[in-house]
Chains A and B, each alone.
Chain A
Amino acid sequence: MNQSDQPDNLPGTVGEGLEQRGVSRREFLQFCTTMTAMLALPPSMASVMADAIAKARRQSVIWLSFQECTGCTESITRSHSPTLENLIFDLISLDYHHTLQAASGEAAEHARALAMKDNEGKYLLIVDGSIPMGNPGYSTIAGISNYDMLVETARGAAAIVAVGTCATYGGIPKADPNPTGAVSVGDIVKDKPIINVPGCPPIPVVMTGVLAHFLTFGSIPELDELGRPKSFYGETIHDRCYRRPFYDQGKFAETFDDEAARQGWCLFKLGCKGPVTYNACATAKWNDGTSFPIQSGHGCIGCSEPNFWDAGPLYKALSMPVSASSFMLAGAAAAGAAAGVAITWHNRSIKAAAKTAHEQVTVQDLMREDK
């Protein structure tokens, strides 16, 4: 970054960190340009973003992992281009993260406490995994229950990013019968701004994009009514799916290996939940834009939606019943027939009674006495 017309980077800033890592101004600007586009911001914002990030103090981030599978961490670290996602780790100070931190045990908890004290009111809290309310013993860290740790750490946070469907909506632990009593971050924390970044796991660039927004503007991106950033979760998979023309034409795969499947036709009949799932999979895709489930031949399972695991069988089309069966209908038919037999008996007895009550009509009986 030794260009005479550029200001020197202040110590403790992101810019300093980039310079130390040998990231060129050009590479950095490229990153910011890409981010700007991802966030659907005007191109002129790229340089604004670059300046803001360069001047920014590296943001303190505390990452709490509760009942999770570590898939969200795996996802965020999947970067093909060393400069993109890794760059994010140079813009923040990741003060606490079970998987990525070097420290362990008491030292790790101490680092968390210190970060909370030094950055009170300003640190970003990222949470993945659900919180068990059934019994605190289901998931503890250093003997502290998830609930206690969340409440304690949320207190001094500037904002919370719930990452992954478990943290945002309860996820797979919450699936019926929810043995641990799993709940989401939003079910517990009510007094802090929460950005929900669901997905099982979320797409890497979606996670980093949200962070970049926060770093650039110091504020939360526009959220939908489920707390998800509209820039990434504003459209359904169905509305951005490249196989949509086949849906519209009525060309569907019937099995996973039939000719239609090989031709890449729509997977609606194989249970694709694309129409009711909001995420960026069809545009941003996975593995740096390589593919996404539908492109690989499997229907969307709706993993960024609340209670997706209990939203009906994965391989039954959306228009199919979740649980109704012909057995059930047969039972209803039997019940109807039983009621029918009862009403038959009733109707017949009314009719028979009327027949018995019939009095032979004579011509005198055509007149009313009381008229």
Chain B
Amino acid sequence: MSHLDLLTFARGSALNWALMLFVAGVILRLFEIYSLGRKADLAVSRTEPPGSGMRTVFTRTLPPRGMLKREPVTYISGYVFHTGLFLAIFFLAPHIELFRGLTGLHWPALPTALIDAAVVAAMVALLAQLANRMASPVKRMLSGVGDYVAWAATLLPLLTGYMAYHHLFFEYTLMLTLHIFSVELLLVLLPFTKLFHAFSLFISRWYNGDWFRRKGVAS
């Protein structure tokens, strides 16, 4: 198989399967969560209409008082990494074409040079996070194989994308193929690992905010 054959496979049936497993997996996991239900709260809520988790969905992104000083590496590397990843996925011109191909939707792209810088920052942040995870006693205790696999699965698309764009190491067509494969791996892993937080964090923050708002506390 030539490199172009591999690329065609990566863009073709490999992508089809990865996307289908991703979509089916995410929906399955959402059913898994919501199927368990939540008992109605019979206590009188302080806020009418009772509870609104939407505020917390947004505000929980910011560090609570005093926490940034306690864990600057966790917060800052988290912001830098997520920002870079988000910008790369949604605002790089070739990626927007991918979304156009899948959904018909498209939007303006950001300059590639800007995203290039953001991706470098994101990868540095990921390395910092790995070092932090291995050095911090709390994180080390909490971490298992799943955390390190998720870390690698997240780093690979950024790294291979960067390498492809800059013509590093492997021949371009092969590098591009590896990039697409790494994305497909991420897609397949996402619904079934902690990476699912990409979707479930909205649900969790909502439930959290809703519980606290009923008590009249903004969480």
Contacts and interface: CB of A to CB of B under 8 A. Distances in A.
A275 B167 CA distance: 11
A239 B93 CA distance: 18
Contacts of B109: 250
Given A328-B19, A347-B36, A236 B172 contact: yes
A221 B73 CA distance: 55
Interface in A323-371: 323-326, 328-329, 331-333, 335-337, 339-341, 343-344, 347-348, 351
A308 B27 CA distance: 36
Contact of B35 (A305, A316, A319, A347): A347
Interface in B35-60: 35-36
B155 interface: no
Interface in B1-26: 2-5, 7-8, 11-13, 15-16, 19-26
Interface stretch (B96-104, B120-128, B135-143, B200-208): B96-104
B12 A312 contact: yes
B134 interface: no
Contacts of B27: 333, 336-337, 339-340
Contact of B20 (A268, A305, A320, A329): A329
Most-contacted residue by chain A among B27, B103, B104 (CB, 10 A): B27
B169 interface: no
Contacts of B15: 321-322, 324
Contact of A343 (B31, B95, B167): B31
A97 to B, nearest CB: 29
A336 B97 CA distance: 26
Given A320-B100, A320-B101, A332-B23, A311 B32 contact: no
B36 A326 contact: no
Contacts of B3: 276
B94 interface: yes
Contacts of B176: 275-276, 318
Nearest to A340: B31
Interface residues on A, range: 35 or more
Interface in A288-334: 302, 305-308, 310-312, 316-326, 328-329, 331-333
Nearest to A278: B173
B23 A321 contact: no
A112 interface: no
B28 interface: yes
B66 interface: no
B96 to A, nearest CB: 9
Contacts of B11: 312, 318, 320-322
B98 A328 contact: no
B20 A332 contact: yes
A305 B4 contact: yes
B119 to A, nearest CB: 15
B112 interface: yes
Most-contacted residue by chain A among B11, B22, B36 (CB, 10 A): B11
A337 B103 CA distance: 20
A325 B12 CA distance: 11
Interface in A235-255: 236, 238-239, 248-250, 252
5 contacts: A239-B167, A248-B113, A250-B111, A324-B102, A339-B27
Given A250-B112, A336-B26, 16 more contacts: A226-B2, A275-B176, A276-B172, A307-B5, A308-B4, A320-B97, A321-B11, A321-B16, A324-B101, A325-B102, A326-B102, A335-B24, A336-B23, A339-B28, A340-B30, A340-B35
Interface of B: 2-5, 7-8, 11-13, 15-16, 19-28, 30-32, 34-36, 93-95, 97-98, 100-104, 109, 111-113, 167, 172-173, 176
